Structure 1
Amino acid sequence: MIRLSRLILPALLLASPTLGATDVSMMGGAIRFPVPDAWVPIMQSEGEKETQVFQVPGASAADATLARVSITAQKVPNLNGFQQFAGNLRSHATALTDYAPGKANSPTENVYTAKEGAVKLDYFERYFYSDGYAIQLRCIRPAGGDAAFRAAFDKGCAEVAAHMPS
């Protein structure tokens, strides 16, 4: 029995998707999700529309200062309110400098590149509607650069998306 528990406990720890994650709560606890421990909270707003922003440490100075993830949530009355929320944020994206659409994999995604100053950035947005809340997950990182950092960044964003309420 002891030998079996020695095998099971490490397996459970390795299989845990939230291992090394910080739990985040928004909208009075109605929305909860984990983010990687390495992500540094740099902004939080509360109110009718709430936003949490995390800086994602990177391999280079550009990665470290420009890579970030934001989660924005707002209470909406119905699915039409969700569509308006997503439409407004998508409209804002098209106004960014050198906006160029990318290939989204679903209607709830928005993928594009744009410039911030002189730096070209990759944007990945995903929209969720859950229990009367409209949610945007927005992942921004420098285009190109370190492949290992891009892979780790994208993995972290995908894990957050997988834990969003839907």
Structure 2
Amino acid sequence: MNRPLRVLLTALVFASPALGATDVSMMGGAIRFPVPDQWVPIMQSEGETETQVFQVPGSSAADATLARVSITAQKVPNLNGFQQFAGNLRSHATGLTEYTPGKAAAPTENVYTAKEGAVTLAYFERYFYSNGYAIQLRCVRPANDARFGASFDKGCAELAARIPS
């Protein structure tokens, strides 16, 4: 094998684990998952309850401003604590302006639309219980952009598959 090809292959081997994803750590490293490099971190909190929020670039400037993904985690003593965590967050959702429930595919999901300012947003929430932690994944995007919605929803589903459960 010639030297330039060997150098290129070696570089790809070392670069490939990090290609296209940023590793996120929460709750002192107990919860870890990758997010796409294109997602821009816009907020992070630490403490008893931790939250990471990412802005997701969209098909227009308005989408980029509104589309976001958040992950919230809290240490809970047991499954009842998890149910209380999820119940509190679901209850909060029903108080949003023009809240309209959608059809969830599983009991650990919450799907709905609500208004933020003048824009109707589609919300997808999924709840996880992992090693004593209650976790909420919340994906929010403009409801009326089908092309962007399809790629956004795919990214959200990929993240849900990587969150420990």
Q: Does 1:23 align with 2:20?
A: no
Corresponding pairs, count: 156
Quote how far apart the aligned CAs of 1:19 are.
4.2
Give the partner amino acid of 1:54.
F
Alignment of 1:1-166 (within 5 A): 19-145=19-145, 147-166=146-165
Tell me if the contact between 1:122 and 1:140 (Cα under 8 Å) persists in the aligned partners: yes
What is the RMSD of the two structures over their aligned residues, measured on CA atoms? 2.0
Quote how far apart the aligned CAs of 1:135 are.
0.0
After TM superposition, the runs of 4+ consecutive aligned structure 1 residues lying more than 4 A away are 16-19
Alignment partner of 1:105: what SS?
A: coil
1:141 and 1:118 map into 2 onto residues whose CA distance is 13
Give the partner amino acid of 2:50.
E
* TM value normalised by structure 1: 0.88
Give the partner amino acid of 2:49.
K
2:94 and 2:137 map into 1 onto residues whose CA distance is 17
Which consecutive unaligned segments of at least 5 residues does structure 1 have? 1-8
Percentage identity across paired residues of the two chains? 86
Q: Which residue of structure 1 lines up, in the alignment, with residue 4 of structure 2?
A: none
Alignment partner of 1:120: what SS?
A: strand
Give the partner amino acid of 2:151.
A
2:90 and 2:39 map into 1 onto residues whose CA distance is 25
* TM value normalised by structure 2: 0.89
Which consecutive unaligned segments of at least 5 residues does structure 2 have? 1-8
1:142 and 1:148 map into 2 onto residues whose CA distance is 11
